[in-house]
Chain A
């Protein structure tokens, strides 16, 4: 299988205010995301997984190692990637239609009519037909995240980056949105990198789950999720699902222990 994203020994430092030295957020991460694969990264909060994703998106520069997409090094944001943010980050003065078309508009490669028609298709795809002329404030949190997803998909990226997109939703909406994401993703199986702190979510969605260590982020373990697709919510009660969950929990628990020990010193 072709490798889409290759990260080799990636380090990310960044300067925080009032810090004398740069802060190491991601430390030597090596992982591949294959073409058409949905890879999830789980880890305790503050473990650098979002920082890693921002580096993949080109919003942050890496300070060591290499990061390539289809063999080309990442330098800055590009049309081959699109991000679904944790916060919906929608323009409040724009309708759903205009928000979904926003990424295309910034890309500048499509005419107005073309943008609107692509946006309409993606609004339908995420199940928001009929809400084209609504404003974000009129939508629920789950619906706003659908718009956020549609905006990213509309630009037709080679790779989809998702930064805990369901973290701020209530439990029921979250499960439903996971199901929806799998339905939408299943249509063309775009390469996707999904960041979450929710272990079940990672197992349920992903082909492979990468467990990050806490602060700085390193790859602790990689698990192949051998569960048949298409998956419905019942998969979450599959014995193998529970086995994966236990293994990841153990990793994180050990990590949590060492992180706590580190904090005491």
Chain B
């Protein structure tokens, strides 16, 4: 890319080399925005094709509304009185369930990673539960906790807890042996090794767990509300689907997807920042 510019500088007259540098810089700037521009263009084209299919009425609107129909439905829903309470309910379920999963999953993962025997004790349960689709527990959770927010909080918690705990535990266990040897050589005690090596060393793993957990948490909220709820974005999808308001189903779906993308991207960025810490 721009790396070749300085090398040419030596053989071409100053002004031409300057021009090349400017060119190279321009090329560098384009390289940075290129993915965004092409990505955005591809989305616009896809939406246009979709809208054209919808307008041509190749399939009935009930089956496939166009992007503009969905935008209208989204606007109508967003200004309806239900919108606020639905969003607040879903957000609360997500936040409380996910928060609890972090609050419990982190210490459990750290302890299991550090105390081998505790790992042996808990591993059968963790492995069994992690392999069970936790969504399948919803009927039980509804019997136990009702159709209010708590059955959803529980399913979100169960969804996020396992990836968080398991990744944290992997992080603690993948302690770099060379670092432990160095610490021991300087007379480090076990608590010191935990605090100065195991804990900071597992940060990238914990962040991966948080990112995986948030995906499961979102599935928990939506599916939980689809099954049984009093309020929430998932309930809106279920009701709109049952009454053939296809555009409204899509509108709710977009709300869910956009929230998911925002959460994932945020955590991905965070993860990338700490990636250099991973033991190689």
- The answer on a CB contact under 8 Å between B186 and A91 is no
- The answer on a CB contact under 8 Å between A107 and B186 is yes
Instruction: Collect the chain A residues with CB atoms within 8 Å of residue B201's CB.
Output: 93
Q: CA of A93 to CA of B199 in the docked complex: distance in angstroms?
A: 11
- The answer on a CB contact under 8 Å between A93 and B185 is no
Q: CA of A172 to CA of B237 in the docked complex: distance in angstroms?
A: 68
Residue B182 lies at the interface, judged by CB distance under 8 Å to chain A = yes
Instruction: Collect the chain A residues with CB atoms within 8 Å of residue B182's CB.
Output: 83, 85, 89
Contact of A106 among B196, B200, B203, B277 (CB under 8 A): B196
Instruction: Collect the chain B residues with CB atoms within 8 Å of residue A135's CB.
Output: 276
Residue A87 lies at the interface, judged by CB distance under 8 Å to chain B = yes
Residue A65 lies at the interface, judged by CB distance under 8 Å to chain B = no
Residue A92 lies at the interface, judged by CB distance under 8 Å to chain B = yes
- The answer on a CB contact under 8 Å between A91 and B185 is no
Instruction: Collect the chain A residues with CB atoms within 8 Å of residue B196's CB.
Output: 91, 102, 105-106
Residue A78 lies at the interface, judged by CB distance under 8 Å to chain B = yes
- The answer on a CB contact under 8 Å between B179 and A106 is no
Instruction: Collect the chain B residues with CB atoms within 8 Å of residue A76's CB.
Output: 187
Residue B197 lies at the interface, judged by CB distance under 8 Å to chain A = yes
Q: CA of A107 to CA of B196 in the docked complex: distance in angstroms?
A: 13
Contact of B186 among A92, A93, A106, A137 (CB under 8 A): A106
In the complex, which residues 161-194 of chain B have their Cβ closer than 8 Å to any Cβ of chain A? 178-179, 181-188, 192
Instruction: Collect the chain B residues with CB atoms within 8 Å of residue A89's CB.
Output: 178-179, 181-182
- The answer on a CB contact under 8 Å between B276 and A59 is no
In the complex, which residues 114-130 of chain B have their Cβ closer than 8 Å to any Cβ of chain A? none
- The answer on a CB contact under 8 Å between B187 and A106 is yes
Instruction: Collect the chain A residues with CB atoms within 8 Å of residue B178's CB.
Output: 85, 87, 89
The interface on chain A, measured as residues whose beta carbon lies within 8 A of the other chain's beta carbons, has a size of: 24
Contact of A59 among B179, B181, B274 (CB under 8 A): B181
Instruction: Collect the chain A residues with CB atoms within 8 Å of residue B185's CB.
Output: 57-59, 77, 81-83, 85
Q: Considering the complex, give the chain A residue whose CB is closest to the CB of B188.
A: A106
Q: CA of A9 to CA of B277 in the docked complex: distance in angstroms?
A: 43
Q: CA of A58 to CA of B200 in the docked complex: distance in angstroms?
A: 26
Q: CA of A92 to CA of B203 in the docked complex: distance in angstroms?
A: 12
Q: Considering the complex, give the chain B residue whose CB is closest to the CB of A135.
A: B276
Residue A217 lies at the interface, judged by CB distance under 8 Å to chain B = no
- The answer on a CB contact under 8 Å between A93 and B184 is no
- The answer on a CB contact under 8 Å between B187 and A77 is yes
> CB-CB contacts of A86-97 with B at 8 A, as 1s and 0s?
010101110000
Q: Considering the complex, give the chain A residue whose CB is closest to the CB of B279.
A: A92
- The answer on a CB contact under 8 Å between B181 and A93 is no
Q: CA of A106 to CA of B183 in the docked complex: distance in angstroms?
A: 8
Instruction: Collect the chain B residues with CB atoms within 8 Å of residue A79's CB.
Output: 187
- The answer on a CB contact under 8 Å between B184 and A59 is yes
Contact of B184 among A77, A82, A137 (CB under 8 A): A77
Instruction: Collect the chain A residues with CB atoms within 8 Å of residue B183's CB.
Output: 102, 106
- The answer on a CB contact under 8 Å between A91 and B200 is yes
Q: How far is the CB of A88 from chain B (nearest CB, A)?
A: 9
Q: How far is the CB of B172 from chain A (nearest CB, A)?
A: 15
Contact A103 to B186, CB < 8 A, known contacts A85-B178, A85-B181, A87-B178: yes
Q: CA of A130 to CA of B82 in the docked complex: distance in angstroms?
A: 60
Q: CA of A93 to CA of B182 in the docked complex: distance in angstroms?
A: 15
Q: CA of A83 to CA of B197 in the docked complex: distance in angstroms?
A: 18
Q: Give 16 A-B pairs besides A85-B178, A85-B182, A93-B200 with Cβ atoms closer than 8 angstroms.
A: A59-B184, A76-B187, A77-B184, A77-B185, A83-B182, A89-B179, A91-B179, A92-B279, A93-B277, A102-B183, A102-B186, A106-B187, A106-B188, A106-B192, A106-B196, A107-B186
| Chain B residues proximal to chain A, CB less than 8 Å | 178-179, 181-188, 192, 196-197, 200-201, 203, 274, 276-277, 279
**Ranked 9 nearest A-B pairs via Cβ:** A89-B182, A103-B186, A106-B186, A89-B178, A83-B185, A106-B188, A93-B277, A77-B187, A93-B200
